[in-house]
Amino acid sequence: MALKVILDSNFLLIPSQFKIDIFESMMNLLNQRYEPTILSSTLHELQTIGEKGPPKLRKQAQIALKLAERCQMVKVERSKDETNDDVIIRIAVEWRSPVATSDRELRKRLRNQNIPVIFLRGKNRLELEGAL
């Protein structure tokens, strides 16, 4: 069975910002089959950025939405008092899945929950923090 990796919205922005193929880089990093997964709350966040964000970010969000089509989309419920990061953490803990994000605060919160994190190091390569 393939390892599910939850992708955060900012992680999907990496290819348009740094010209990195995140899917191939993750395959090389993980050295195993994996299933890139995007939560419905993350998809909604990207759609909002694509419609209402600053022009440069809107363009990057459109590219990210195209990349999101290569991911397994999972519908999740989000309560009124939950942020998108809260949903990602809740699902990652529930599934025991690594999360791919560039968000420093989210990475810290995931580390506290012992969830492995894939992130961009030095604007040119992906790195894994924690054990799978």
| Torsion sign, CA atoms 109, 111, 116, 122 | positive
Tens-level pLDDT at each residue, the chain (132 residues): 799 999 999 999 999 999 999 999 999 999 999 999 999 999 999 999 999 999 999 999 999 999 999 999 999 999 999 999 999 999 999 999 999 999 999 999 999 999 999 999 999 999 999 998
**With contact defined as beta carbons under 8 Å apart, do 98 and 118 qualify?**
yes
Task: Characterize 52-86 residue by residue with b for buried, 16 or more Cβ atoms within 10 angstroms of its Cβ, and e for exposed.
Answer: eeeeebeebbeebbebbeebeebebeeeeeeebbe
pLDDT value at residue 1: 78
The pLDDT assigned to 44 comes to 95
What integer pLDDT is reported at residue 33 of this predicted model? Answer: 94
Rounded CA gap, 102 and 8, in Å? 8
Distance CA 26, CA 7 (A): 11
Predicted pLDDT at 125: 94
CB atoms within 10 A of CB 33: 9
- Go through the domains of the chain in sequence order and give each one's CATH number: 3-129 (3.40.50.1010)
Closest of 2, 3, 1, 6 to residue 73, by C-alpha: 6
Residue 30 tokens read as 């993980």
